């Protein structure tokens, strides 16, 4: 036990599909046994996690009868109560069944769209029954290979219709849920609609129930697109739309690797945790910290729990390193905000008088440009804090 071991207060969660991943990939079958949902709840609790998330079909098989469903839900709820775990987030599997091979909400066939709504309403009911306050939408199959098959604008409009419908449904039921949209650029489709968190943020502003819809950015997905996860999350936070987050690790330019959090690009992971924890100032993220990742295919079950503990420990280590970085006087001096009481009032809020005064200023750009900014020193300090050279 040390100070980096997770506790419930840390708000860490895992999906049933993450630690339950049996190691199947496109080139080979499972390498581990399937774990029962109730067993996962027990083991996650022992590891120090706070929450467990699920797709409808992670708990209730696609073709289960109502009686089978109720029994599974009853047993699962008992496991949650027995082990002090919560379900912060739920979602719908709209990608595994062949009916969704050309999308769910954006499919050309209205019967597929109808089935996707039916399945989503039932899954929202399940999430509500388990106490989920956040409901995620990841449109894995909402995309194309033969792009001429539909006007991409129709895909966008159909997705809007579906989300407007389901927001109204959840509101009508009084579930008090918020929806979080998760972007991904490709895989399993050649191209997926709404490929990045930025695309999602704009789309949300066009929804009827904009207030109840935010984003669920994932490290791997933004990184696949070659983007900075930290900047994507910052934009979501600035817009008040970071409702959930999928933490994992990813090498740029690869398939969706979903690796242990912090195991790749540790500097990006540091900057992300620093942003979420608000150690540099600014509002802290207080929602669930969800790991959407899985253990290497080389692992047996013991390796899976090592993986889970590793995700949580690395988050806490990075949070401690970020706090030490931001408390360092040398860092604070380098990033101290530059103030100019005379100039700043001229920069915000256009009026003719101010703009005339601004245009008259002799700002001497060559002199400004000649000054070095000290970012080499700043970044080296970051690396040294990250590597544990400074700070407690």
E strand or H helix at 296, and its extent?
none
The window from 16-24, 80-88, 109-117, 212-220 that contacts Mn ion (CB under 5 A) reads 212-220
55 is catalytic: yes
Alpha helices in the chain (DSSP H): 16-19, 37-47, 56-59, 66-83, 110-129, 152-172, 197-204, 219-224, 229-238, 266-277, 301-327, 329-335, 344-347, 352-360, 365-369, 375-386
Q: Which of ligand GLT, Mn ion, none does residue 102 bind to, with CB < 5 to 8 Å depending on kind?
A: none
Q: What are phi and psi of 329, to 5 degrees?
A: -60, -35
Q: Interface residues for ligand GLT in 170-199 (CB under 6 A)?
A: 182
Question: Which of 58, 102, 142, 218 is the binder for ligand GLT (CB under 6 A)?
Answer: 218
The window from 15-23, 58-66, 70-78, 213-221 that contacts Mn ion (CB under 5 A) reads 213-221
Number of H helices and E strands in the chain, helices first, is: 16, 10
Question: Which of 126, 220, 227, 331 is the binder for Mn ion (CB under 5 A)?
Answer: 220
* Token couple for 371: 């000054």
* Token couple for 172: 């009508």
Question: Which of 13, 38, 91, 250 is the binder for ligand GLT (CB under 6 A)?
Answer: 91
Q: Interface residues for ligand GLT in 48-87 (CB under 6 A)?
A: 55
Q: Which of ligand GLT, Mn ion, none does residue 142 bind to, with CB < 5 to 8 Å depending on kind?
A: none
Q: Interface residues for Mn ion in 256-295 (CB under 5 A)?
A: 256, 258, 292
Three-class secondary structure of residue 158 per DSSP: helix
Q: How far is the CB of 260 from Mn ion (least distance, A)?
A: 13
Q: Which residue in 55, 244, 290, 385 is the catalytic one?
A: 55
Q: Which residue in 25, 33, 58, 390 is the catalytic one?
A: 58
Interaction between residue 136 and ligand GLT (CB under 6 A):
yes
Q: Which of Mn ion, ligand GLT, none does residue 203 bind to, with CB < 5 to 8 Å depending on kind?
A: none
d(CA 111, CA 99): 10
E strand or H helix at 55, and its extent?
strand 51-55
E strand or H helix at 215, and its extent?
strand 213-215
Of the pair 91, 266, the CB lying nearest ligand GLT is at 91
Q: Which of ligand GLT, Mn ion, none does residue 222 bind to, with CB < 5 to 8 Å depending on kind?
A: none
Length reported for the chain: 392
Alpha helices in 225-300 (DSSP H): 229-238, 266-277
Per-residue contact string for residues 226-245; x = within reach of ligand GLT by CB under 6 A: --------------------
Of the pair 307, 325, the CB lying nearest ligand GLT is at 307
The DSSP bridge pattern shows strands 143-144 and 191-192 to be antiparallel
Segment 372-379 long-range contacts (CB within 8 Å, at least 24 positions apart): 374/334, 375/334, 377/330, 377/334, 378/331, 378/334, 378/335
Per-residue contact string for residues 332-371; x = within reach of ligand GLT by CB under 6 A: ----------------------------------------
Cβ-contact 49, 13 below 8 angstroms: yes
Q: Which residues lie near Mn ion (CB under 5 A)?
A: 218, 220, 246, 256, 258, 292
Active-site annotation, residues = 55, 58
Q: Which residues lie near ligand GLT (CB under 6 A)?
A: 17, 55, 91, 136, 138, 182, 218, 246, 256, 292
């Amino acid at each position: 036990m040390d100070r980096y071991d997770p506790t419930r207060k840390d708000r860490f969660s895992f999906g049933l599909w993450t630690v339950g991943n049996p190691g199947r990939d496109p080139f080979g079958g499972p390498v581990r046994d399937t774990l029962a949902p109730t067993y996962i709840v027990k083991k996650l609790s022992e590891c120090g996690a706070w929450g467990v998330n699920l797709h409808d079909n992670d708990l209730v098989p696609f073709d289960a009868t109502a009686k089978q469903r109720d029994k599974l839900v009853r047993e699962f709820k008992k496991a949650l109560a027995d082990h002090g775990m919560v379900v912060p987030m739920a979602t719908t599997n709209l990608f595994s069944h062949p009916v969704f091979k050309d999308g769910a909400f954006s499919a050309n066939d209205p019967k597929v769209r109808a089935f996707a709504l039916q399945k989503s309403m039932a899954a929202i009911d399940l999430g509500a029954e388990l106490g989920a306050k956040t409901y995620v939408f990841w449109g894995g199959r909402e995309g194309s290979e033969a792009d001429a098959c539909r006007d991409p604008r129709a895909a966008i409009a159909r997705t809007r219709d579906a989300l407007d419908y389901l927001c109204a449904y959840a509101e009508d039921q009084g579930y008090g849920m918020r929806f979080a949209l998760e972007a991904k650029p490709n895989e399993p489709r050649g191209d997926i609609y709404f490929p990045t968190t930025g695309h999602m943020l704009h789309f949300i502003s066009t929804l009827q129930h904009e207030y109840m819809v935010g984003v669920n950015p994932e490290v791997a997905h933004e990184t696949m697109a070659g983007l900075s996860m930290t900047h994507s999350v910052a934009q979501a936070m600035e817009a008040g739309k970071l409702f959930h987050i999928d933490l994992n690790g990813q090498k740029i330019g690869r398939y969706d690797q979903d690796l242990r959090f912090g195991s790749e690009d540790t500097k990006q992971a540091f900057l992300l945790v620093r942003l979420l924890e608000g150690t540099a100032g600014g509002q802290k993220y207080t929602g669930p910290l969800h790991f959407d990742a899985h253990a290497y295919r080389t692992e047996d079950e013991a390796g899976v729990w090592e993986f889970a503990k590793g995700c949580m420990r690395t988050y806490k280590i990075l949070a401690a390193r970020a706090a030490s970085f931001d408390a360092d006087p040398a860092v604070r001096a380098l990033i101290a905000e530059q103030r100019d009481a005379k100039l700043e009032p001229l920069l915000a809020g256009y009026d003719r008088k101010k703009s005339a005064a601004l245009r008259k200023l002799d700002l001497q750009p060559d002199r400004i440009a000649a000054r070095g900014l000290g970012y080499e020193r700043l970044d080296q300090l970051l690396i040294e804090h990250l590597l544990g050279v400074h700070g407690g």
